[in-house]
Amino acid sequence: MQKSAKNKRATLRDVARYAKVSVATVSRVLNDSALVSQATRERVEDTIEVLGFVPSAAARTLNSGNSRTIGALVPTLDHSIFARYLDALENQLSKQGYALIVSVTGGVPSVEERKAFGLLDLGVEGLVVSGCTHSTRFDALVDRFRVPVLITSYFDTEARYPTIGYDNRAIATKALRYLRSLGHQSVSVIHGATDVNDRILARIEAIREAAVDVTVKFWPVSMDVPGGADAVREMAKQKDWSSALLCLSDVQALGALFELQRQGVLVPRDISIMGFDDLEWSAVSAPGITSISLPAREMGTHAANALVAWIRTGERAQPMSIGAEIVVRGSTREV
Amino acid sequence: MQKSAKNKRATLRDVARYAKVSVATVSRVLNDSALVSQATRERVEDTIEVLGFVPSAAARTLNSGNSRTIGALVPTLDHSIFARYLDALENQLSKQGYALIVSVTGGVPSVEERKAFGLLDLGVEGLVVSGCTHSTRFDALVDRFRVPVLITSYFDTEARYPTIGYDNRAIATKALRYLRSLGHQSVSVIHGATDVNDRILARIEAIREAAVDVTVKFWPVSMDVPGGADAVREMAKQKDWSSALLCLSDVQALGALFELQRQGVLVPRDISIMGFDDLEWSAVSAPGITSISLPAREMGTHAANALVAWIRTGERAQPMSIGAEIVVRGSTREV
DNA sequence: CCACATGATGTAACCGGTTACAATTCGTAG
DNA sequence: CTACGAATTGTAACCGGTTACATCATGTGG
């Protein structure tokens, strides 16, 4: 094997040599910058084709300084809210020429730090972080890399970074008020773990502190369909029934609904159920589940736009509250 | 402002100058390569700390040649199978030091080509592509970049690239056989669009060609919960009932179940329902839906391992079939 | 026929790291 | 006291592009 490496990719210099022009000319052709004669341009393009030349992203990044990637940190992909949000985020970023690098943190702060470092180390131009409590080490990291950071999934003008998301406290209060307006005086709140999920935490705090004349009891279970069923079974065991169930996630609401049906309890005649997230099947279950619609796609799109604008202009993004609406369906009734 | 740029990030040369050592020494400290005296090392580390120096990924990539990223092409993130698969893929890649860049194609070949190019252009070291029909332009692209490509979501030893996934034909046949074994002589197959989804296509073909003594009728609807309900409504309208419904996606099965309940048809007494994918709520609906469990996580993990091994060793990955099991629940009965 | 504008192309430095190889220092065996 | 080798550290080339600036060939007005 001669020094002409066996199957390394061709470089710009190879093209230049082969086409008998200078590297500058090849570069000009690549960036179709004005001043190259038609004849030369064609010759170079042919050579590029023949050699199967492909410019190196790393080299380009090295002198332009931008990697055209942004990083997203999410607790999990295996939850439709995050998946849908990322779907929209990727879509919008892609339109603006950015690629999305996804890192899953499991909601664990130490993992989040590690993954954030990995993303920054890779040279992402910005970071979007979803719903987790951030550490001072994370902040130090961000300071160091001087990179725009956006927080999503909750809205808080006081936060260290611009937030784009739902005002979880307001939403939760709204839900509780709604149930109260239907006449429910006692509400059982079914929710997931609070230690790794500050969205849930915010909702719970708001409900606890709400100046609404309702007796509230909290039922912590896992954040999935079986969790909702578990909560109902526990209520049955303790013979502790409220007239309304407020599930801080629709998956739990579905589990609760199924379990109540299994036990012969009629919804909404005997018990009303209200969920959060407005997942697609919440509209089609029997009865449909009254829920709070969180426009995850909208959040993703806005986050993409805000972050790219921030990167382009250098002006810090503004916090943005994404509205959420109560979607009334058959699972709740007036008492 | 002097030439000492205002707030550019510090470079390795800055550190060298400031610590009064050579660039080579700084580089050695960074890669904690053996031969640096303790004193020098500490001095350099302090300087790095003081200047807040952060090595540039692009520069590293430029001479090492590897970007430590791999790209994934998926039709959508907004579907739990893909989200779960990516979750596992990211997890496993991350363990091996690779970051995951996600691109969503919507199942459109032209978009797939464009996004594939974007990923390759970014310098990904490998590509994992899920469930879409690939074009010759895509193949040309891959040839050109000489990058390992893995196909997931279906299994086919004849394919142009190594596949890691479910043998959709075998699975579909298995499902049909199962229904036949329960005594069903006529089966209505509810499925999504076939033009953008070759997994569904493979299942349909297998069912059509299966040497099983069953009358089959196909009901194409949208691939979501409302779609399943639509199919049932259409059956009601046409008064065209089979004793069993085979839904090629659990979301459709759920829609069908809800719609049947709404119409007062009892499952499984009047009609049996069987789904695909074994989504989490399939276990908790009332009745639970008999389904085919597709271990998406397992597929993601295997794909990650196979691709990384391929990149490391240069040896083409072997195709791998991921098993799928029938999970029997209350929605099917013997007739 | 010459001066100068204009277009096309080449040269070489630079981006920020890595690394082969040279150079220097120091300890100590001869 | 000298010499040789190990331990450190420095120099400069290189990775593969971009780009400021120099160079050169034409063309046109004076």
Summarised one tens digit per residue, pLDDT across range A186-212 is 999 999 998 877 788 989 999 999 988
| Interatomic separation, CA of residue A49 and C1' of nucleotide D27, rounded (Å) | 34
Instruction: Dump pLDDT digits (tens) for A255-305.
Output: 999 899 889 999 999 999 999 988 877 877 778 899 999 999 999 999 999
By the 8 A CB rule, do B42 and B49 touch? no
User: Which band of pLDDT confidence, cut at 50, 70 and 90, is reported for residue A5?
Assistant: very low
- With tokens 């002198």, the residue in question is A63
Please give the nucleotide, over all strands, whose C1' is closest to the CA of residue B60.
Answer: C17
By the 8 A CB rule, do A239 and A224 touch? no
CA distances from B191 to A146, B6, B221 (A): 49, 60, 6
By the 8 A CB rule, do A91 and A301 touch? yes
Beginning with the edge strand found earlier in the chain, give each strand of the sheet holding B163-165 in spatial order: A320-321, A163-165, A149-152, A127-130, A69-74, A99-104, B99-104, B69-74, B127-130, B149-152, B163-165, B320-321
- pLDDT for A260 equals 94
Which token pair is B112?
A: 């797939």
Instruction: Dump pLDDT digits (tens) for B38-94.
Output: 888 888 888 888 888 888 888 888 888 788 999 999 999 988 889 999 999 999 999
Q: What is the mean pLDDT of residues A16-35?
A: 85
* Cα–Cα distance for residue pair A158/B40, rounded to 1 Å: 43
Q: Which of A141, A271, A249 is nearest to A200 (CA)?
A: A249
Which token pair is B115?
A: 């996004």
* Cα–Cα distance for residue pair A195/A102, rounded to 1 Å: 23
Beginning with the edge strand found earlier in the chain, give each strand of the sheet holding B215-220 in spatial order: B215-220, B186-191, B244-247, B272-274
Chain D nucleotides reached by a protein CB under 7 Å: 7-21
- B216 part of contact set with chain A, CB < 8 Å: no
Instruction: Dump pLDDT digits (tens) for B170-197.
Output: 999 999 999 999 999 999 999 999 887 7
Q: In this predicted model, which residue has the larger pLDDT, A186 or B258?
A: A186
Q: In this complex, which protein residues place their C-beta within 7 A of any atom belonging to strand C? A: A 20-25, 28, 34-37, 39-41, 59, 62-63; B 8-9, 11-13, 23-24, 26-28, 30-31, 53-56, 59-60, 62-64
- B99 part of contact set with chain A, CB < 8 Å: yes
- pLDDT for A133 equals 67
- pLDDT for B7 equals 56
Least CB-CB distance to B258: which of A94, A104, A285?
Answer: A285
Q: For residues B232-268, b (16+ Cβ closer than 10 Å) or e, as one string?
A: bbebeeeeeebbbbbbbbbbbbbbbbbbbbeeebebb
By the 8 A CB rule, do B132 and B163 touch? no
Cβ contact A104–B91 (<8 Å): yes
Q: Which residues pair with A100 in a beta bridge?
A: A70, B102
- pLDDT for B3 equals 32
Q: Which residues pair with A191 in a beta bridge?
A: A220
CA distances from B244 to A278, B223, B232, B328 (A): 30, 19, 12, 14
- A288 part of contact set with chain B, CB < 8 Å: no
- A73 part of contact set with chain B, CB < 8 Å: no
By the 8 A CB rule, do B267 and B287 touch? yes
**Mutation test of the interface with chain B: which of A78, A100, A297, choosing the one with the most B Cβ atoms within 10 A?**
A78
Instruction: Dump pLDDT digits (tens) for B273-319.
Output: 999 988 877 877 778 899 999 999 999 999 999 999 999 888 999 99
By the 8 A CB rule, do B196 and B131 touch? no
Reply yes or no on whether the pLDDT at A90 is more than 90.
yes
Reply yes or no on whether the pLDDT at B226 is more than 70.
yes
- pLDDT for B1 equals 30
- pLDDT for A62 equals 85
Cβ contact B283–A226 (<8 Å): yes
> CA of B55 to nearest chain A CA: how many angstroms apart?
8
> Please, is B44 exposed, middle or buried when counting C-beta atoms within 10 Å of its C-beta (0-12, 13-18, 19+)?
buried
Query: Dihedral angle at the C-alpha atoms of B93, B95, B101, B105, nearest 10 degrees?
Result: 40
Q: What is the mean pLDDT of residues A142-151?
A: 91
Please give the nucleotide, over all strands, whose C1' is closest to the CA of residue B9.
Answer: C16
Instruction: Dump pLDDT digits (tens) for A36-88.
Output: 888 888 888 888 888 888 888 888 888 887 889 999 999 999 888 899 999 99
